[in-house]
């Protein structure tokens, strides 16, 4: 089961006819949810790989709008067997770029309140601010 997006999110983001065409190989006239679930599971694995660098418990990020959109765009790309249209490829590239930004810490998922997990053996100290430095020397 997908953490970041589900069938309803895919249906809200993409046209039903596109989802039907990409999943209904047997021409039953119904969306094959197992194919969408498999694509969403792959997207979840990718997202978790990037996001786990900054967030230990990725399951608590379920419902995050940014991650939901990334999961949907990447899963939709995976549904194409070959020759995805340019707009689908561009959405996939944008999703991957956002994941890279999340991993680098330039795109925050929690309104900038992100804290790094402590490392074993790490020593934390409080010190007074620097007296001399690039930021506080003015024009000198």
For 42-63, write each residue's pLDDT tens digit: 999 999 999 888 887 888 888 8
For 5-22, write each residue's pLDDT tens digit: 999 999 999 999 999 999
Instruction: Report if pTM > 0.85.
Output: no
Distances (CA, A) of 89 to 3, 70, 85, 92, 93: 23, 13, 6, 5, 6
* Closest C-alpha among 80, 98, 8 to residue 39: 80
User: DSSP code of 119?
Assistant: P
CA 1 to chain centre: 16
């Amino acid at each position: 089961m997908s953490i970041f997006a589900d069938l309803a999110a895919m249906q809200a983001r993409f046209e039903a006819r596109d989802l039907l065409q990409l999943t209904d190989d047997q021409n039953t006239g119904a969306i094959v949810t197992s194919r969408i679930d498999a694509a969403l599971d792959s997207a979840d694995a990718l997202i978790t790989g990037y996001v786990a660098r900054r967030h230990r418990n990725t399951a608590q990020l379920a419902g995050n709008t940014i991650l939901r959109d990334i999961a949907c765009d990447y899963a939709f790309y995976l549904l194409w067997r070959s020759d995805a249209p340019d707009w689908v490829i561009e959405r996939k590239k944008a999703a991957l770029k956002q994941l890279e930004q999340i991993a680098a810490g330039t795109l925050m998922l929690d309104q900038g309140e992100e804290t790094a997990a402590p490392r074993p053996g790490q020593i934390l100290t409080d010190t007074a601010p620097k007296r001399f430095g690039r930021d506080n020397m003015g024009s000198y």
